[in-house]
Structure 1
Amino acid sequence: MSSRPVRRRHVFYIPGYDPIHPRRYRELYRKEGAAQAAISGYEINLRPQQAPGRYGWHVEALIDGTQNRTDIETLIWSDIVRGSMDHGIAGSYALLFRTAWIYLSTGALFRLMRLRKGPVIAALYPVGFLLLQLVLAVGVGSVVVWAGKAALIPVLGLVGHMIALAAGLAAAWGLLVWFKRQDSRFFTYYLLHNYAYSAQHYGANPPELETRMAEFTDEIAQAMTGEADEVLVVGHSSGAHLGISILADLIRQGGVPDSGPALSFLTLGQVVPMVSFLPQAHRLRADLQFLSSRDDIAWVDITAPGDGCAFALCDPVGVSGVATPAKRWPLVLSAAFTQTLSPERWKALRWRFFRLHFQYLCAFDRPGDYDYFQITAGPRTLADRFKGRAPSRSRIEAAVSSHRGVTP
């Protein structure tokens, strides 16, 4: 792709599986952008979005001596996420066993374990912790029943027995309810519903998600006919595999005009194999194969081994088994947290797994060539910024998935 200076940019940010209002991303950009600007010596300012559209904000930046304007929009699917999490306690346990069965019976879990341990542990964590909660609840309930019988049966007989059983059930259920209310600390139900949503159709997209993705494709197509010098799509976490299919559809539909803006794709902390390794993920695998060979897009994939929630340095095309001789994307690079964060900062964040999963959107106190704010608000296109950059030597490209079909 040819290099071109960027004075105006349109960014579409696709969040991962997140039920929270997108204003959190605006405030994160505001706070971390100011921090990175102070560290790296440039200026960046935010104000509310002027044009009608989805939730977003306007950025004005002075980087490398040039003034740049960027409109950032969040492509919202948090309402779909919230709806998918409405299962209650009993429904969530049923979902737990069904999701575990899907990954085990298809062989996907064993293949994923050959990649990175972190995301597999993250997938197994809700299984183990929810079962532990159930065991604890049964244990507490049993103790209450035993104590109640000992105290009440001699006095009330059969009535005392029934009261003890009711008290035990109430105690067990109460403990399960307490754990669920504390999920903002434990993330157990959140992670369960995250993996369950992707797996419910064995890797195929749910109908409501396909409808929303079509809307996203139309909006990006409209931006490709606008005045921007670059249209940049950023997919974080689960948003990465949404972005892959959205952009594949955009190109197939002729949404990339020859004289239009540069089209760029940045994937951050991707978990693509969690979906592409499932047997019915034909659409995603076909889109991976298609997008990887295009010369009308630049695709850079950034992960870091320090991010235990991502498939770090796993080429999503290669490990999914759909690479062809024509493959040219993505360029797989490391954010190298242990190098781009000071020892003090790394020590403070090392065990905060969910915070590290969002580090790609944050400031680095020892920044390398990856700088989220220069990429989204600076004067160079994504292709120009990483032109000539060699991929990470420690990347994994070997085909690991046993399900490689691209057609149903």
Structure 2
Amino acid sequence: MAEAEAGQVRRRRVFYIPGYDPIHPRRYRELYRKEGAAQAEISGYGLELRPKAPGTGAYGWHVTGAIEGAEVEAEVEVLVWSDIVRQSMPGSIGATYLQMVKTAWIYISTGTLRRLMWMRKGPVIAALFPVGALILEALLAFAAGWILGALAAWGARAIWVPLGPFVFWPVLLVVGLLVLRWFKSKDGKIYAYYLMHDYAHSAGLRGAYPPELEVRMAEFRARIAAALEDDVDEVLVVGHSSGSYLAVTILADLIRAGVPAGGPALSFLSLGQVVPMVSFLPRAWRLRADLAYLSTRPELFWLDVTAPGDGCAFALCDPVAVSGVAPEGQRWPLAISAAFTQTLSPERWAELRWRFFRLHFQYLCAFDRPGDYDYFRITAGPQTLAARYTGRAPSKSRIDVPASKYTSVAP
């Protein structure tokens, strides 16, 4: 492990924790393959993917990087919880609307929504979007049903006057339901149902983790702990979006249990984090305690990367400080900006700036004007995360003022 101590990497294990995503993890392999090839061509290095070794069980891929004059082997593994995501998504339209009412009540009645807006309006607008979209869809469905129902009733009255009301209401209900079903079928472009399920899952227990997720996180922790016993130079945990706060708890529990002395460097990269959406809720005691604990630990290096151009993330908000749990001696995270307006060309930025969901994944993609953040150098390059970013100053525009109403770390 002498190379790891010197910040040099020849072999790396990467654990990627997705956000709230019901899709098969192969999408992340294909994203890495496509965007990695693009970044390699832009930046002039080599990147080769091949299937993971058979019999390893977990889903992932192998990467060989020829970067900065060195060759690095990396095993990338996706820590899958998409099955839990799918189970949390109600199938019926009515259940989704009930979910909307409950989630809105939780964020508004606890004062959390107002506190979140103090920091960044972008992610709050993103949270309000599915509410507005679902209400608009319901109004349009009702209007379509009313118009067609009125026309049908007019025709029925021409046959027999008392028949009008008996035709109006069934037509209104049937047409309204068909319109709502049509909107739901198009949600792959609108994302109203998807985002509603996402925020409802985060707020369902007012910040506490669901039991099935606790079980899965324990399994993830065990896999990462086993990797720390491997003959590798770095174990890198990447948490994206909602996966970032799952990673906080997983790593906090891992370090509490003890990590091997003289083992691989332990690194944590949080991308597009949405930690305040959960840590600001009243029962997020566990997450707040884990944030406070992890922020002081010397066993790891924690880099937090966001960008003001990402309207779905709490850009440059120190997740520990804004949650009101920053202890004396806080050392993590190092919060920096991916600076989309600088690291993407004007043409590329113009193409992507209104594609909010795509921008939320830009951290995992190629930049045509790369700065000091490069996902592929981090995951397949010859330096540990600490070696690459030690001495890097945090972004000056970061927000580190306590903003949460709830700061307790125990019931």
Does 2:7 match 1:4? yes
Report the Cα distance in structure 1 between the residues aligned to 2:107 and 2:5, rounded to whole angstroms.
43
Query: Aligned to 2:334, which of 327, 331, 338?
Result: 331
Matches within 5 A, 1:349-368: 349-368=352-371
Letter in 2 for 1:19: P
Task: Check conservation: 1:230, 1:381, Cα contact below 8 A.
Answer: yes
> Which position in structure 2 is the counterpart of 1:62?
66
Letter in 1 for 2:70: T
Report the Cα distance in structure 2 between the residues aligned to 1:300 and 1:53, rounded to whole angstroms.
29
- Shift in Å, 1:127: 0.7
- Shift in Å, 1:164: 2.7
Task: Check conservation: 1:133, 1:176, Cα contact below 8 A.
Answer: yes
TM-score norm. by structure 2 comes to 0.98
Task: Check conservation: 2:207, 2:281, Cα contact below 8 A.
Answer: yes
Letter in 2 for 1:3: A
Matches within 5 A, 1:154-233: 154-233=158-237
Task: Check conservation: 2:7, 2:386, Cα contact below 8 A.
Answer: no
Task: Check conservation: 2:153, 2:163, Cα contact below 8 A.
Answer: no
Task: Check conservation: 1:3, 1:383, Cα contact below 8 A.
Answer: no
- Shift in Å, 1:157: 4.0
Secondary structure of the residue aligned to 2:62 is: strand
Q: Where in structure 1 do 4 or more consecutive aligned residues deviate above 6 Å? A: none
Task: Check conservation: 1:6, 1:378, Cα contact below 8 A.
Answer: yes
Secondary structure of the residue aligned to 1:4 is: coil
Report the Cα distance in structure 2 between the residues aligned to 1:130 and 1:272, rounded to whole angstroms.
25
Letter in 1 for 2:218: A
> Which position in structure 2 is the counterpart of 1:90?
94
- Shift in Å, 1:141: 1.3
Matches within 5 A, 1:8-407: 8-50=11-53, 52-254=56-258, 256-407=259-410
Report the Cα distance in structure 2 between the residues aligned to 1:14 and 1:389, rounded to whole angstroms.
25
Give deviations 1:65-87, integer Å, cap 9, x for gaps. Answer: 11100000000000111111124
Secondary structure of the residue aligned to 2:326 is: coil
- Shift in Å, 1:135: 1.0
Report the Cα distance in structure 1 between the residues aligned to 2:182 and 2:395, rounded to whole angstroms.
45
Secondary structure of the residue aligned to 2:119 is: coil
Report the Cα distance in structure 2 between the residues aligned to 1:125 and 1:110, rounded to whole angstroms.
16
Report the Cα distance in structure 2 between the residues aligned to 1:3 and 1:16, rounded to whole angstroms.
32
Letter in 1 for 2:165: H
Report the Cα distance in structure 1 between the residues aligned to 2:79 and 2:6, rounded to whole angstroms.
27
Q: Gapped runs of 5+ residues in structure 1?
A: none
- Shift in Å, 1:160: 4.4
% identity of equivalent residues: 62
Report the Cα distance in structure 2 between the residues aligned to 1:194 and 1:174, rounded to whole angstroms.
24
Secondary structure of the residue aligned to 2:94 is: helix
Letter in 1 for 2:88: S
Secondary structure of the residue aligned to 1:249 is: helix
Report the Cα distance in structure 2 between the residues aligned to 1:388 and 1:27, rounded to whole angstroms.
33
- Shift in Å, 1:327: 0.6
Task: Check conservation: 1:230, 1:262, Cα contact below 8 A.
Answer: yes
Report the Cα distance in structure 1 between the residues aligned to 2:317 and 2:160, rounded to whole angstroms.
65
Give deviations 1:213-241, integer Å, cap 9, x for gaps. Answer: 00000000000001110000000000000
